[in-house]
Structure 1
Amino acid sequence: MIYPIVIHKDPESDYGVTVPDLPGCFSAGDTMAKALSNAVEAIECHLEGILLDEENLPLGKTIEKYVNQPDYQGGTWALVDVDLSKLGGKTQRINISMPERILGKVDAFAKNSNKTRSKLLADAALEYIAVHGKANQ
């Protein structure tokens, strides 16, 4: 899942990272590259906590939704891709059935996205639940 982040740098500080879609999720790094990798780790940890609390994962919104908000002025924006298949505990093998044509589309999309079939299906399921889950609570 893709999340926008905003990175701020004061002259006497490390790079600070804020994740607008995840209130309370912050990170930092002494270089821009370290700030980006630490942001992914912070987001994974934050999302793991959301899953442990049995809440729905928030979807990442677009940068345009936040770019004009005062708290984010002067920052550098980036998009980070978080591997949702790493979350939620131990991996469990399942057996599912789906029509061949749909499976072909899933596999082609996964290949073009540099994902495994399992990762794509896990990401898709969590995104679907995030969008539609509130109506079923």
Structure 2
Amino acid sequence: MQRYIAILHESRKSFGVSFPDFPGCIATGATAEDAIENAREALAFHVQGMRLDGQKIPKPSLLKHLQSRADWADFADGMIALVPLLPHKTQNIRTNVMLDRRLLSVVDQRAQAKGLSRSAYISRALEAQLSE
């Protein structure tokens, strides 16, 4: 799985993410975690659009190559993160899985605390695990 360097910037009220390899591909979030999660989706959507337009998808740049670019100063004050290029989300499919009752209880508590459904929480957890 390809991973691209993302730059996380903090402002007074939110976080923003930009990709040096993909000018114009940005994401935001109320927290750093939200911004990175949104960056995964933004990157997938951006690359899907490039493919539909017949554009070449760049290989992930090495940090040392990015640091030698003339525009590196625009990114230098941010935090560096690696964001995986996951397939763009398509359609949800209903599935049936067996889970330990205690595990499911913890999932439900955490999902409720984040304002998510059980399915959304499990889906995000799986995406995060597959991103590693």
- Deviation string for 1:27-50 (max 9, x for gaps)? 111111111110010000100100
- Deviation string for 1:2-21 (max 9, x for gaps)? 100001112x2310111000
Equivalence map 1:16-31=2 (5 Å): 16-31=16-31
- Quick one: distance in 2 between partners of 1:4 and 1:52? 23
- Quick one: distance in 2 between partners of 1:33 and 1:50? 26
- Quick one: distance in 1 between partners of 2:33 and 2:15? 10
Q: Note closer, same or farther for the CA distance 1:76–1:67 as it changes in structure 2 (3 Å cut).
A: farther
Is 1:4–2:5 an aligned residue pair? yes
Match of 1:62 in 2: 62
CA RMSD of aligned residues (A): 2.2
Query: Any unmatched runs of 5+ in structure 2?
Result: 91-128
Match of 2:42 in 1: 42
- Quick one: distance in 2 between partners of 1:27 and 1:65? 23
Match of 2:119 in 1: none
Amino acid at match of 1:57: I
Is 1:81–2:84 an aligned residue pair? yes
TM norm structure 1: 0.58
- The Cα of 1:66 is off from its aligned counterpart by 2.4
**Structure 1 residue ranges (4+ consecutive) displaced by more than 3 angstroms after TM superposition:** none
8 Å Cα contact 1:63/1:77 also seen in 2: no
Match of 2:110 in 1: none
TM norm structure 2: 0.60
- The Cα of 1:55 is off from its aligned counterpart by 1.6
- Quick one: distance in 2 between partners of 1:18 and 1:57? 16
- Quick one: distance in 1 between partners of 2:9 and 2:67? 13
- Quick one: distance in 2 between partners of 1:58 and 1:13? 32
Match of 2:101 in 1: none
Amino acid at match of 1:43: L
Amino acid at match of 1:44: A
Match of 2:120 in 1: none
8 Å Cα contact 1:36/1:80 also seen in 2: yes
- The Cα of 1:54 is off from its aligned counterpart by 1.3
Q: Aligned pairs, how many? A: 88
- Deviation string for 1:85-116 (max 9, x for gaps)? x25x8xxxxxxxxxxxxxxxxxxxxxxxx98x
